[in-house]
Chain A
Amino acid sequence: MTVLRAMAMDKIMTCAEFQETLPELFEAQADLGAQEHLKTCENCAALVRDLEYIASQARLLLPIHDPSPAVWDHIQKAIRDGDQPGASSPSQGRK
């Protein structure tokens, strides 16, 4: 179902139908506040708020800290021990 079709159908949408259109609505960055269904459905409005909140909180998660310096040491050692650019041999694991 296209977003436009979904929006055209909005006034007669059930919760299931509205939630089926949600991925497209989010992706299209549609004005969800203008959706008729949300004006009358507290449950779907809460769902939309939560999904928007989860996405916004996820954006704050980066960065994790760096890997330990040992990782680069092991990469250097593996390269010294025989890895060459373009070679297809298995890596030397840091074990």
Chain B
Amino acid sequence: MAVERFVLMNPGPSQPRPANQHLRRNPPIAGEQEAIQKAQSGDSRAFETLYAMHKRRVYSLCLRMLGNVAEAEDLTQEAFLQLYRKIGTFRGDSAFSTWLHRLAVNVVLMHLRRKGLPQVSLEETLEPAQDDGPRKDIGARDLTLSGSIDRVTLERAIENLPPGYRLVFVLHDVEGYEHNEIAEMLDCSIGNSKSQLHKARMKLRDLLRTGQRKEQIA
């Protein structure tokens, strides 16, 4: 297994983005802009509103990355405390949810580092060791997956992805972020995000097919 080092990013002032690049599944939330402005002025009710709007998605990200309810709740708490401290630096140039997710991703990566995961650059984090990666699928003619995966099985397979693959897969395929947004969150190139997503899907297919074979044997 490759030595891994997680590089942390500061969700500083958000970067400008083209006006039409809205999230596929992250449309603006009614009342969010007003709540942000009030929270930036220290309005605790407005901060609670922002928490109510975004708690589920931040918690989902943490839970999918950690696979542990207690840790996910701790990191959700930490992410929102960071939000409380840093909300004054949000300028509104990018979607608030993207900015908040970058902050949450940073908290998750810091936690993984504290847990003692070996250290590498984020690029390496996003590029698991060869043994962990997906194989090209040449000449393997057996069962296909279509129509056969339930939610629990897929969630379990996602849990077994290497962290870098898991993060890009969750952000893109589950959360609906675009590659340019993921690249901004993870401080990596758009090409790297695309490449890792494909490898993550290939690895998931490997994991799911392996699970099916084991079920058939059993």
A contacts, CB < 8 Å to B: 15-16, 19, 22-24, 26-27, 42-44, 46-47, 49-51, 53-55, 57-68, 70-72, 74-75, 78-79, 83-89, 91-94
Which residues of B are found within 8 Å of A65, using beta-carbon distances?
56
Q: Are B81 and A79 in contact (CB under 8 A)?
A: yes
Please give me the residue from chain A that is nearest to B24 by CB atom.
A59
List residues of chain B with CB under 8 Å of any chain A CB.
Answer: 25, 39-40, 42, 44, 48, 51, 55-57, 59-60, 63-64, 72-74, 76-78, 80-82, 84-89, 136-141, 144-147, 149, 151, 154-155, 158, 169, 173-176, 179, 194-195, 197-198, 201-202, 204-205, 208
- Residue among B39, B40, B136, B138 with the most chain A CB within 10 A? B138
Q: A19-B137, A79-B44, A84-B85 are in contact. Are A91 and B205 (CB under 8 A)?
A: no
Complex formed: what's the CA distance from A63 to B201 in Å? Answer: 20
Contact of A85 with B85 at beta-carbon distance under 8 Å, contacts A58-B169, A93-B74 already known: yes
Q: In the A-B complex, list the 9 residue pairs whose CB atoms are closest, starting with the nearest.
A: A58-B173, A23-B198, A64-B60, A91-B81, A67-B59, A46-B144, A50-B145, A15-B138, A53-B146
Q: In the bound complex, do residue A16 and residue B138 qualify as a contact, i.e. CB atoms below 8 Å apart?
A: yes
**Do the beta carbons of B149 and A53 come within 8 Å of each other?**
yes
Residue among B40, B60, B138, B149 making CB contact with A43, cutoff 8 Å: B138
B residues in contact with A91, CB < 8 Å:
77-78, 81-82
Q: Is the interface of B mostly helix, strand, loop or mixed?
A: helix
- Total A-B pairs, Cβ < 8 A: 144
Give complex CA distance A91, B59 in Å.
Answer: 17
Give the distance in Å from the alpha carbon of A44 to the alpha carbon of B169 in the complex. Answer: 21
Distance between Cα atoms of A22 and B198 in the complex (Å)? 8
Q: Which residues of A contact B136 (CB under 8 A)?
A: 15-16, 19
Also in contact, A83 and B85, with CB within 8 A (given A57-B154, A68-B73): yes
- Given A53-B145, A67-B55: A85 in contact with B40 (beta carbons within 8 A): yes
